[in-house]
Structure 1
Amino acid sequence: MKEPNVDELITLFNLLFKTSLNTILVKGDDEPIYLPADQDNPHHRVIFAHGFYASALHEIAHWCVAGPERRKLEDFGYWYKPDGRTADEQSEFEKVEVRPQAFEWLMSKAAGHKFNFSADNLSSDIGASDSFKANVLSTVHELLDNGLPERVGILVEALSKHSGRLPLRKEEFSI
């Protein structure tokens, strides 16, 4: 099996979505961000941090969650509470991160890349809760049982073919 390569991921994503959804994947510097097309940039841009493969998959997963109206807004119009959240704020964060992290796990597995749950709260020393991990796993199993959303399915299939993996099975996903 081939080791995942971020430049190949960029090429693959852009081949799949540059024309069909006017969206490209871009290697960024610091913080990841989604920027819709504007007068200076003809394409919507999924910008991930520091050239990290995991960051690219995570940002793609958020793009896969966002509907057509949200994809017209910077960062999909969501407010983001940065690192340093309280336990209550972290609980709210986990509620909205289940689906994107389920998508990310599916794409990671398809690409042959290790998936890590992200609490995205390093300075508070609050990691991903056991219930969050269980909810993400349950969502992955549900998606595999009921079918993947279109963009996730396209990516999982393309990543699986590119990495030489077999189709995904529920048994591959556990905590």
Structure 2
Amino acid sequence: MNHSPNDLIMLFNDLFREDYRTILVRGGSEPEYLPADQPEGLAQVVFAHGYYASALHEISHWCIAGAHRRTLHDYGYWYCPDGRTPEQQEAFELVEVKPQAQEWLFSLAAGIRFHISVDNLSGDGARDERRFRNNVLEQAIRYRERGLPERGQRFFDTLQSFYGTAQDFDESWRRDVRRLVPSHSISDRSRNTEAV
């Protein structure tokens, strides 16, 4: 299956350009969110290097951001780049749980391989990688049980429809949990959860 970032741009822009005055844009070395700079302008979700996975990650952040945060550059969040101290890394991991859980479900809906990222290669790595992986998994399970945020659900449904992954989603989910969080056994409640 071919996974072009151009497909994500088309799908995202078709879904959200009119209702939310927001478009997905291929960018350079750093992803960022640029709010509209004039009343009739368009906000931009910019993903790095034209990478498909980067686009899914940045879309995940946008789907979680509330109305006020979407008026702020990079949603008003503090970001410390790769090379973080243990304390900075812990703060990073706390805010990354929901976006990465949503990105995981988006990745499965698109039929691509997801990688949990602690994004700290030049630093000391994860503060507690096992805990972070489990937190991302538990959040993804909650999303499967209760549904994604409204914009996230719309995008998830669109990905499943576009890539035809709905029928095999549950099996892909179980396989991915075993791959990414091997110490965790999927409970009966997540096995019986209908697709998001």
- Measured against aligned partners, the alpha-carbon deviations of 1:145-175 in whole angstroms (never above 9, x if no partner) come to 1112111111111001111111543535412
The answer to whether structure 1 residue 137 and structure 2 residue 137 are counterparts is: yes
Aligned-residue sequence identity (percent) comes to 49
Asked if the contact 2:85–2:124 (Cα under 8 Å) also holds between the matched residues in 1, the reply is: no
Please report how far the alpha carbon of residue 74 of structure 1 lies from its aligned counterpart in structure 2 after TM superposition.
0.4
Q: CA contact under 8 A between 2:84 and 2:124: conserved in structure 1?
A: no
Query: How many residue pairs align between the two structures?
Result: 174
Query: Larger Cα Rg: Structure 1 or Structure 2?
Result: 2
Question: What is the CA RMSD across the aligned residues, in angstroms?
Answer: 1.6
In the TM superposition, residue 41 of structure 1 has moved relative to its aligned partner by: 8.0
User: What's the counterpart of residue 157 of structure 1?
Assistant: 157
Q: TM-score, normalised by structure 2?
A: 0.84
Corresponding residue for 2:187? none
Give the alignment's TM-score, normalised by structure 1.
0.94
Which runs of 5 or more structure 1 residues have no equivalent in the other structure? none
Q: Which runs of 4+ in 1 moved over 6 A?
A: none
Conserved 8 A contact 1:13-1:24 = yes
Task: Summarize the Cα distance change of 1:37–1:123 in structure 2 as closer, same or farther, 3 Å threshold.
Answer: same
DSSP 3-state at the match of 1:55:
helix
- For residues 19 and 41 of structure 1, the distance between their equivalents in structure 2, rounded to whole angstroms, comes to 11
Give CA-to-partner distance per residue, 1:99-150, whole Å, 9 cap, x none: 0000100101100111111111111141470110001001111110111211
- Equivalent position amino acid for 1:111 in 2: A
Structure 2: give runs of 5+ residues left out of the alignment: 182-196
- CA distance in 2: counterparts of 1:77 and 1:96, whole angstroms: 13
Counterpart-to-counterpart distance in 1, 2:5 and 2:39: 25
Contact kept in structure 1, 2:86 and 2:124, CA below 8 Å? no
Residue 92 of structure 1 and its aligned partner are, at CA, apart by: 1.3
Determine if contact 1:98/1:139 at 8 Å carries over to the other structure: yes
Whole-angstrom distance in 1 between the partners of 2:152 and 2:12: 11
